[in-house]
A and B are shown apart, each in its own frame.
Chain A
């Protein structure tokens, strides 16, 4: 918060999901074409163009049934778009938001509890470690039996995927308090709540933000996993529907949609994370 002056010196704009896109601007104000193009990922873009062209050529020649032409995938996507793509995405988004926000709230509460009481931390640690280590995917059949094939199960899977990762990161953040700040707060006779709100939580923010990014990533994985296994609603179900119909361009269209949405979402969370890291360092 206090280092706003020094950020002026040299700005480095890194693109999300570390795509290798790095734009460096100098210390002078404004953008010049030369500076922008200096770090431009020509090779990466060339590589993507080449790959797409190659794919399209193979598709057009019809060499493999599993590789449809790009134009066919685009047609399939348009068909999906005019069909039920948007409403299905809405369902997925709702599931995601419920599961993720529940996991976030629970992770905040649990990590604050464990940071305030060593006994609670000691009691819960093996279970949090276990939750981190076991493959949550494998527990989906149990959840399906417990809650049925419905939104509850999907939300529960998203929750479990995101929760443990976030708890671990939040705990790490809460442990990172500068002991000098704590001493200072104690010297000022602050109450426990004051210390938590004014000292501990702000210093935990950067790592917590990293935790949120990891949590979002895990939640997306959980969402798609649950939707694909349950196969009744959401974008994951579209994927399964397309593959049951042997609609190969359709599969590519849905997969592409998932990839684009994930990359954009993760990119925005990464940008937010980097902002918070910058403000706090």
Chain B
């Protein structure tokens, strides 16, 4: 805050170069402080920027005062993360977990998009198979997990199938909606040019589907992370989830927190990447054209 005021004071009192009128100082201000939305005082902006630090401080203090091994302090967790990172455990565990994520999410995307397009473009198919997707959407996927494990065992296959199960129904329903709502006006106009089936698909339907496909990628990945973690927390204790569960059994609070935070960071990064891809392939959004 002091730094901020100092900066401002210098700017106001100092001799101003002629070309440094409005824009440059505006830019400089922005770099220090995001412009607050209307009706929000500057102090609130500063408070929001400081709030993560305040929370971390609160965590640190309360954990030191409680002195419990189950409630590690922020610094202990950081140290645990550092140790996991340098000893290599972390990367081995993450790689093990993410193999399932890569396989499962890819499969749920490929199959989910195919099924979604089919169900979206054919009312009859939707009547026959749509019901299973709807039931799957409504029920907690985790309830299907033991069945997956009975069928596929305890290996990478089972974990990949769990990741697949978590994303599949969501991807299908998103793409189905996308395929059903491909702009009818555009489709009609396309028909007027007497296109071949291939032209109709490549020029009208697939471009119309792009927003849904973008959303599908994001959903497959973000749901996939949940599936990846959940299976490791319950029945197959390997990978990063296994690290967390083992640490919990050994009352290593710091490693539990570290593992959970790493999972959350990975999820947030993947989500951000998914959003980025979504924006790249369809900046207009799912209902943007209307």
Contacts and interface: CB of A to CB of B under 8 A. Distances in A.
A132 to B, nearest CB: 10
Contact of B245 (A135, A141, A225): A141
A230 B130 CA distance: 33
Contact of A47 (B47, B127, B144, B233): B127
A212 interface: no
B244 interface: yes
- For the residues of B in contact with A, the DSSP-based class is helix
Contacts of B139: 258-259, 262-263
Nearest to B69: A145
Contact of B263 (A19, A130, A135, A217): A135
Nearest to A140: B233
Q: Contact residue range for chain A?
A: 35 or more
Interface stretch (B23-31, B103-111, B187-195, B223-231): B223-231
Nearest to B41: A119
Contacts of B248: 141, 144-145
Interface in A133-177: 133-135, 137-142, 144-146
A221 B127 CA distance: 26
A259 B131 CA distance: 13
B256 interface: yes
Contacts of A252: 147
B143 A243 contact: no
B151 interface: yes
Interface string A5-39: 00000000000011110000000000000000000
B127 A43 contact: yes
Contact of A229 (B141, B226, B233): B233
Contacts of A19: 131, 134
Contact of A135 (B132, B151, B225): B225
Nearest to B233: A229
Contact of B234 (A122, A138, A217, A228): A228
A239 B230 CA distance: 15
Given A18-B134, A44-B131, A259-B139, A66 B151 contact: yes
Contact of A243 (B137, B138, B146, B267): B146
Q: Contact residue range for chain B?
A: 35 or more
A220 B128 CA distance: 27
Interface stretch (B1-9, B32-40, B83-91): B32-40
A234 to B, nearest CB: 12
A134 B143 contact: no
Interface in B217-273: 222, 225-226, 229-230, 233-235, 241, 244-245, 248, 253, 256-257, 259-260, 263-264, 267-268, 271
A18 B136 CA distance: 12
Contacts of B271: 133
A90 interface: no
Contacts of A228: 142-143, 145, 234
Contacts of A137: 226, 229-230, 233
B45 A255 contact: no
A103 B261 CA distance: 23
Contacts of B151: 64, 66
Interface string B115-153: 000000000101111111011011111111111011100
B104 to A, nearest CB: 15
A69 to B, nearest CB: 15
A44 B130 CA distance: 8
A242 B146 contact: yes
A141 B267 contact: no
A43 B124 CA distance: 8
Interface in A215-241: 217, 220-221, 223-225, 228-229, 231, 236, 239-240
Given A66-B150, A251-B147, A20 B126 contact: yes
Given A122-B48, A138-B267, A229-B230, 6 more contacts: A17-B134, A19-B134, A119-B44, A123-B47, A141-B260, A142-B257
Interface of B: 36-41, 44-45, 47-48, 51, 70-71, 124, 126-132, 134-135, 137-147, 149-151, 222, 225-226, 229-230, 233-235, 241, 244-245, 248, 253, 256-257, 259-260, 263-264, 267-268, 271
12 contacts: A17-B137, A19-B131, A123-B47, A141-B256, A146-B70, A217-B138, A221-B142, A225-B230, A229-B230, A252-B147, A255-B147, A263-B135
